[in-house]
Structure 1
Amino acid sequence: MDIAILGAGSWGTAMAIHLNSMGHNICLWTKNPNQLEEIKKTRYNKKYLDVMVPEEIEITNDIGYALKNKKIIILAVPSHAVRNVVEDIKNIIQDDAIIVNLAKGIETTSLKRMSEVINEMIDNHVVVLSGPSHAEEVCRHIPTACVLSSIDIKACEYIQDVMMDENFRLYINKDLIGVELGGSLKNIIALGAGISDGLGFGDNTKAALMTRGLAEITRLGVALGSDPLTFLGLTGMGDLIVTCTSMFSRNRRAGIKIGQGKSLSDTLDEIGMVVEGINTTKSAYKLSKIHNIEMPITNEIYSILFEGKDPRKAVHSLMTRNKKHEMEDI
């Protein structure tokens, strides 16, 4: 297949390497001219992945050229850039092209999921790919399992055939809302797990955060129309495990720095890449208020990030809430 990948960050580069290894013809687009020259000259994308980009992968900063005659277009840009990129391509993509979205986030202004943002501007089928999948491992062909979802299951099955091999297993889940929310909201809990690490807390704390974090993710998901079982799968618990425990996770790394006392601005400067959980915290906080959903961990992380609350006081607030029965929300 001839496939365009828009966005040459870590995920876009890893996906280009994976699909190239399957024999597909890949055109990788970046709008950054310095990044373009670096990859062309050295075949490395050092800021994002310390792995060689094969010569067969074509690199361009001409988005029209990248999209020419492409039936599959993979969006690998950060969630906050999805609207602008789709606006740029809406008049030049083919009507029958399938959009595969890799971005995990909720738009902070409209509070829409990424597939909703895309379909607001174009009528093409959108397939969402989500699940526990660090780019640093996918590009090295380490066994990984993810989920595809769409309102068009035949489009999912088509992409499953195109993208799945012995190292990259893809399941299909019909619950598009749940798949997108699980992939987005787990980044908030990963920030919390990092803050816990930065404060010097241990495994007990992280286990509590992840378990109760999953409970509030599920509460909001069900209120928005998700199947609660989705959050027990790869895009829920699976993604939560990998993002809360790995140092590949930007959200966890950002949380560690905040827990150690660094400001949000200094943290983002040091990470040097997009930390999706920051904007997602803002979006989830708004959604919880609109739908009157109790999300205490999200609320406290919002207070730390945007209201300057001391992380230790946030932990104290969580630990001294009113007594509860564990299953009273179910």
Structure 2
Amino acid sequence: MSLRKAAVITAGSWGTGLASVLADNDFAVTLYTRTQAQADEINDSRRNGKYTGDFVLSERITATASMEEALSGAGVVLFVSPSHAMRQVARQARPYVLASATVIHATKGFEPETMKRMTTVLAEELPHLDPSRLVVLSGPSHAEEVVQRRPTTVVVAADCLEAAEQAQDVLINPYFRVYTNPDVIGVEVGGALKNIIALGAGLSDGLGFGDNAKAALLTRGLAEIARLGASMGGHALTFSGLAGVGDLVVTCTSQHSRNWRAGYLLGQGRPLDEVLETMGMVVEGVKTTKTAYALSKQYEVSMPITEQLHEVLFAGKEPQQAVGHLMGRGRTHENEELADAFGGKWIL
């Protein structure tokens, strides 16, 4: 029996994790990589060493450096490119993506130059597709645990419920549970903004502030995510779900998180350029902080944590000074600013 074909673009840690899920779900998976050396490593040794270590990949996964080969005949296409590269990658993929394919992205960030969400970028670069059927996947999910088949729960969202349910059917299995959600904006915004708070959580840990500070950071960080997300058109309930508080918790409390690790190094006094070089992988939270700061001004939304992280990352502000600024803010009601974002309605 011939297997259904899926393409995963590109072959980073999360792309490899999702390729493993699809392979376990009886797909023949073609994993696109930008380098022939990485493709050879995956095909010859069954490993993607830089991203998933010594984990042995399924025989159903084949890697290629040819976009045409990766997408040829693929009924499922999963984009997992870094946010800053999504437009270029989608443009390269455009001639080969079938109009009938189920197209999903699992990238948590905004396009830096335009501040656009990833479904908007994909809709612009893949105009032969119905934009209502573009699906976003998000939620608390470390690739390291997914490739080890540890229980993981995520959410998929699309404007078209049928498309979200198709993605759910493609991905769900005994260790990878998938919920559907109609709120594309909320799921994308929540997935992107939690990386900012994870940077802050790592920075707090690097400064040795302890659990009290981190708990407050997560709680007030969630309020910031909800305020901006609602102003952009997201639904309040989304931010209390998997793409909101769920993803926030896992990203802010685990050393698997590259955003937490980057923040931790910053908290220990390492300069940003050195931190990014040390990480060796994309740290989405850095670019997202700049975008979210600009969006907060555009939508006139109060985001004090984001503002102070922006100062630390891009204006040379000392982390201790940023914390002092946050702790010394004027008195306010816990829900006051959040309620403003929802037309005065108390939601938390």
- What TM-score, normalized by structure 1, do the two folds share? 0.98
The Cα offsets for residues 166-215 of structure 1, whole Å up to 9 and x where unpaired, read as 11111111111000000000000000000000101100000000000000
2:11 to 1, 8, 11: 8
Cα deviation code 1:31-53 (max 9, x no counterpart): 11221222222211111112111
Which residue identity lines up with residue 63 of structure 2 in the other structure? Answer: I
RMSD: 0.9
Q: Which residue of 1 aligns with 2:29?
A: 26
User: Deviation digits for residues 51-93 of structure 1, max 9, x if unmatched?
Assistant: 1112221111111011111121000111111100111111222
Between the aligned partners of 2:321 and 2:329, the Cα distance in structure 1 is 12
8 Å contact from structure 2 (residues 40, 63) kept in 1: no
Partner of 1:282: 290
Structure 1 runs of 4+ aligned residues shifted over 6 Å read none
User: Secondary structure at the residue paired with 1:325?
Assistant: coil
Counterpart in the other structure of 1:73: 77
User: Counterpart in 2 of 1:92?
Assistant: 96
Unpaired segments ≥5 residues, structure 1: none
SS at match of 2:336: coil
Matched, 1:52 2:56: yes
Amino acid aligned to 2:70 = A
What percentage of residue pairs aligned between the two structures are identical?
48
Range with greater deviation from structure 2 (36-45 or 66-75): 36-45
Q: Secondary structure at the match of 1:129?
A: strand
Aligned to 2:191: 183
**2:37, 2:285 → 1: CA distance?**
27
Structure 2 unaligned segments of length 5 or more: list them. 340-348
AA of the residue aligned to 2:17 = A
Residue among 64, 67, 82 paired with 2:86: 82
- 1:303 paired to 2:311: yes
Query: Which SS does the other structure have where 2:329 is aligned?
Result: coil
Map 1:168-247 onto structure 2 (within 5 A): 168-247=176-255
2:268 partner letter: Q
The separation in 2 between residues aligned to 1:109 and 1:279, in whole angstroms, is 10
Letter in 1 for 2:332: K
Q: Which moved more, 1:79-88 or 1:120-129?
A: 120-129
Residue 134, structure 1, aligned to residue 142, structure 2: yes
The answer for the alignment partner of 1:42 in structure 2 is 45
**Counterparts of 2:228 and 2:28 in 1: how far apart (Å)?**
40
Corresponding pairs, count:
330
Aligned to 2:332: 324
3-state SS of 2:332 partner? coil
1:271 aligns with 2:279: yes
1:176 and 1:56 map into 2 onto residues whose CA distance is: 31
